[in-house]
A and B are shown apart, each in its own frame.
Chain A
Amino acid sequence: MKQRWWDYVILVVAMLVLWQVAFYMVGPDAIAPPLETVQRLGTLITQDDFWNNAKATGIAFFYACVLALVGGLVIGVAIGSSKMADEILSPILGTLYSIPKIVLYPVILLIFGLGLSAKVVFGAIHGFFPVALFAIGAIRNIPPVLLRTGRVMKLSWLSLARTILLPAAGPEIITGLRMGFSTTLLGTLIGELFASNAGLGFMLMRAMDIDNVPDIMALTLLLFLIATGANTIILAIEHHVHAFNK
């Protein structure tokens, strides 16, 4: 679907109007109006406390992402390459993907303690499964005739990967990586909400505890912007790859 710039304008304006209307309906106890929220966000990002927390989130997210994306890709490709492993393990991965991982937060806290590793593990277990499942699907769906062609042409392992496997499985793998990126971000932030002593999620939880509505709204807005921004960028890359493959 072709996205035009005024679609974004309409979306932003509509959301601001809804937000303002919601503010008039619910009142300042629950919602801060758009203008005040943006101003509050402006002050927040001048404070050292904010940047320390943002850095903590960034580091946790980076480690979690590396674990989830690399681990998911390696394991997914390995399972996808064997029909038997695919049949046996895919349903297990599917079930693990669907269980509410949020109930595991006390377990992860007890094992890893409050801090960076708990957040990283929490983020990684959210992102790992979609990456692995999409990688398995991508390898599974490569038409066998392509692989046979490669064998007939006596391609080396490297050129087989470069000229056949990557172009055939690439687009679906990239979709999986995007999902993995999003869910890892979600997992890291949830980990920070429930189980941490630093980070943007922790700041948000602290603001919730003392009912600081402008801070809650400003941080929510920021997280929303980061998440949608990152997702839009990766989506653009994904479209580029899909278009390139046609």
Chain B
Amino acid sequence: MRNPAFWRLMILVGGVLTIEVLCRSGVVSSYSMIPPSQMVVALVDMIRHADWFWSDARYTFQNIAVAILLSIVLGFVIGLIIHALPRLRRVLNPVLLSYYSVPTFVFYPLLVVIFGIGPSSLIVMGAMFGIVAMISSTLTAIDRIPRVYGKVARVGRMSGWQTAIRIKLPAATPRLFTGLTLAVAYSVTGVIAGEFIIATAGLGRQLTLSYNEFDSATMYGLILLILIFAAVINRFLQSWEARIYRRWYRK
């Protein structure tokens, strides 16, 4: 019974039960929040019966997938370029450091004018939000590669490519992974936020619609779905990250 995972499950169950009791007993009014059990029912109902569900879900998840891919690949490449040019890095440093205190969503209407209403502006929004986390992590990842590894490569007479693939990349992997986790979380937020503001389809748009129409069943079903999706991805990436760390920093 000393297992942390067991206690976490207990806390989760306890939290959900508390909300359930608060909602059922009327402490929290049914206009503000429906009981968690009803949220699950609403979600299942929505997945099985709502005619818009699959097309909107596919729209959102496709956009999220492309945004994540773009922010990770471009963020890594841009990170490499910036790292190779110390001058550029010094100039960009203030922007990289304070990027996440600016609500990037304010640029979304601008994106809509440039790319039109549709997947491209949502993808660009998500990628814009995720890419800087990846760039910053790539920079620290390369910074933290121990000098002695480079010496080992020279002693072993490895070529530039060999050094990059067999020494530098593995040594940078754990910290790159931290950036990847952040980029995923930010890209999801970016795409969903874009769908809140201006969109013609997607789960974020359905959420706004259901809120405006006081359809709390659909609203809470959608919120539950997005939160479960984000939490599952995060737990998966976290355990993967822990595995990589254990492998590279084994005592």
Contacts and interface: CB of A to CB of B under 8 A. Distances in A.
Interface string A141-179: 000000000000000000000000000000000000000
A193 B105 CA distance: 9
Given A110-B32, A228-B94, A186 B101 contact: yes
A102 B189 contact: yes
Interface stretch (A36-44, A48-56, A69-77, A87-95): A87-95
Most buried by A among B102, B106, B207: B106
Contacts of A185: 101
Interface residues of B, number: 52
Contacts of A219: 106
B8 A92 contact: yes
Contacts, number: 144
A94 B238 contact: yes
A30 B32 contact: no
A45 interface: no
A227 B207 contact: no
Nearest to A106: B211
Nearest to A96: B231
Contacts of B204: 103
Contact of B113 (A7, A29, A183, A190): A29
Interface residues of A, number: 57
B13 interface: no
B91 A10 contact: yes
B4 A87 contact: yes
B155 interface: no
A186 B220 CA distance: 24
Interface of B: 4, 7-8, 11-12, 28, 31-33, 89-95, 97-98, 100-103, 105-107, 109-110, 113-114, 181, 185, 188-189, 192-193, 196-197, 204, 207, 211, 216, 219-220, 222-223, 226-227, 230-231, 234-235, 238
